[in-house]
Amino acid sequence: MLFGRGFRVPAVLVAAVLVAGCAGRRPGGSASSGALADDSPERERQRVEAHAHYASAVAHEVNGDVDQALDHYVQAASNDIRNEALVLEVSRKLLQAKRAESAVELLERATKQADAPASLHARLGVAYAQLGQTDRAVNANRAAIRKEPESIVGYQNLFVLYMQARQPEQALEALDSAARLSRADVNFLISVGELYGALGAQDPNFREPARARGLAVLERAAKQPIDDPQTRLRLANAFSLLDQSERAAPVYEELLVQVDDIPVLRESVRARLAEIYLRSKDSSRAREHLEKLLESNPTDAEVYYYLGRLADQEGRFADAVEYFSKELLLSPESPGAHDRLAIAQIRNNQPGDALETLERARKRFGPTFYTEYFAGIASSMREDYTNAVQYLRAAEIIAGSRHVDQLDASFYFQLGAACERTGDYAAAERHFEKCLELRPDFPEAQNYLGYMLADRGEQLERARELIAQALKAEPENAAYLDSMGWVLFRLGQTEEALKYILNAVRLAEEEDAVLYDHLGDIYMKLGQPDKAREAWQKSLGVEDSEAVRKKLQPSRAGDSR
């Protein structure tokens, strides 16, 4: 998945809590990293026993005897209680096995040792938390913070504890205390920023303060030198987590240069950049990174989807068809891919191809609301209005009462228009009225219904009211002006009608046969036959019409509608 490559901080935090502290080395070989110097014979004997128990634990673990293995691990750690790495490893195994009591017993002994490191106190806090002993868990983590303020683990644990207890104020206070450290390194600061982001994501009431404070911490991190690509990636992801795409983007761009020879990381960064630029409506940069992703992986269906979406938004419908075709080729089991291609084909004036795409979807998945709805639109484009009505009515039945939200104003507009073209005016009026009930401020539907009524000489006052509403929304729409002129002509207000028609002719983006036909009728009604004939001839020059040619016959010179 293109945008599935990234970090989701809350999950990371839970994992961090479970493995609080360093992983450590197994005993054996040189001195353990956390052991204190003690060369006494008794200490050496304990180390030998620790090694023996550890070896037995590994053998039992390999054989699947988990309980025996854990018992020996505990004995190993008990005999080498000052070995930080060993105690951390064993306590982790105990916690994973839900033996928190044993983990607490071991960790309490370890933290009583002189100079016990912060990691052991933090792990004790995890063990207490698993037992539901929240107060002890908090105290243990605060002890870890006192021991080593620049270690993030204690703060992470406190954050999780407070959030689980639904105490976001205390969680914020813990993060604020971490943020106040003046000598924190870059990874510590990034971790604090991630935690602020997690707080804002989990509690909307704290989103804004968490975002502001998290951003301040990340800006401090950004000022430090960062040579490690993974650290730079974390910083960029943390900015994104705080909805700071404009700050994340340059960090990702710098990282892109840094990891150019690491394909997996490079493509992950490109994906994040594409996501940012898509979200910020920077289509040029989004397209640049998406096309680069295709160079590395030309079979990524998701990249074709986003490129198709961009092409559609920019009105490059032929390109959209090409991209969505490739998406469908790579994802033939996706109903959405079929629908997207069909829509692009409709917008690219390829209704026949759209019908073929929808038929393939119908055969693979069965009829759906969208296959029938888009087939209805494509059929209308081909002037096959009978089939258009059938497809749209099938879509209405499929939607039924369970998916009534699909039957919106646009749907009933399409159905009304198709019914009008088949001559079923009663059904058309019913569907247009339903359309306007769902969306009263739909000027195109107001004009269509108003013109249909005016052209049939029915409900002329209602027709004028509808067209007036459409004109109020779009006063310079030539089609609406023509409709108003025509309803006024039907009402006998010919002089006023002429003003609207002439204005429509002036504003029309291209010559319209119907407009000139109306103009001719109005001139004839006003007793200006020469101008009427001139208008009708212009109408025929745009589109041949038997009805208009008849008006030019001498025997009809004095006729008018």
pLDDT digits (tens, 9 = 90+) for 54-87: 999 999 999 999 999 999 999 999 999 999 999 9
**Residues 245, 280: contact at Cβ < 8 Å?**
yes
CB atoms within 10 A of CB 339: 20
User: Does 309 score more than 50 pLDDT?
Assistant: yes
487-512 mean pLDDT: 96
Give CA–CA dist 354/344, Å, rounded: 8
Integer CA distances (angstroms), 98 to 60, 172, 223, 289, 410, in order: 18, 29, 43, 46, 57
358-383 mean pLDDT: 97
CB atoms within 10 A of CB 176: 14
Residue-wise DSSP of 12-26: HHHHHHHT-S-----
Give CA–CA dist 457/437, Å, rounded: 23
487-500 mean pLDDT: 97
Residues written for the chain? 561
Residue linked to tokens 């404009």: 246
| Contacting residues for 409 by C-beta, under 8 A, at least 6 apart | 435, 436, 438, 439, 442, 445
Quickly state the pLDDT bin for 402 (edges 50, 70, 90): confident
**Residues 133, 54: contact at Cβ < 8 Å?**
no
Q: Which CATH architecture best describes the domain 1-165?
A: Alpha Horseshoe (1.25)
CB atoms within 10 A of CB 555: 7
23-42 mean pLDDT: 46
476-496 mean pLDDT: 97
For residue range 226-241, list pLDDT tens digits in order.
989 999 999 999 999 9
**Average confidence score pLDDT of the chain:** 90
Quickly state the pLDDT bin for 40 (edges 50, 70, 90): confident
476-503 mean pLDDT: 97
Please report, for the chain, the start and end positions of each structural domain, with discontinuous segments joined by +.
1-165
pLDDT the model gives residue 37: 46
User: Does 14 score more than 60 pLDDT?
Assistant: no
pLDDT the model gives residue 23: 34
pLDDT the model gives residue 556: 53
Quickly state the pLDDT bin for 209 (edges 50, 70, 90): very high
**Residues 53, 81: contact at Cβ < 8 Å?**
no
Quickly state the pLDDT bin for 43 (edges 50, 70, 90): confident
Q: How far is CA 437 from the centre of its chain?
A: 31
Quickly state the pLDDT bin for 360 (edges 50, 70, 90): very high
Quickly state the pLDDT bin for 25 (edges 50, 70, 90): very low
pLDDT the model gives residue 75: 94
Tokens of 360: 């393939």
pLDDT the model gives residue 27: 37
User: Does 274 score more than 90 pLDDT?
Assistant: yes
217-229 mean pLDDT: 93
Looking at residue 28, the DSSP 8-state letter turns out to be S
15-42 mean pLDDT: 42
User: Does 2 score more than 70 pLDDT?
Assistant: no
Q: How much of the chain, in percent, has pLDDT values that exceed 70?
A: 92
281-288 mean pLDDT: 94
Q: Strand ranges (DSSP E) for 221-312?
A: none
547-557 mean pLDDT: 80
For residue range 126-147, list pLDDT tens digits in order.
999 999 999 999 999 999 999 9
pLDDT the model gives residue 26: 35
Quickly state the pLDDT bin for 13 (edges 50, 70, 90): very low
212-226 mean pLDDT: 95
The residue among 47 and 334 whose pLDDT is bigger is 334
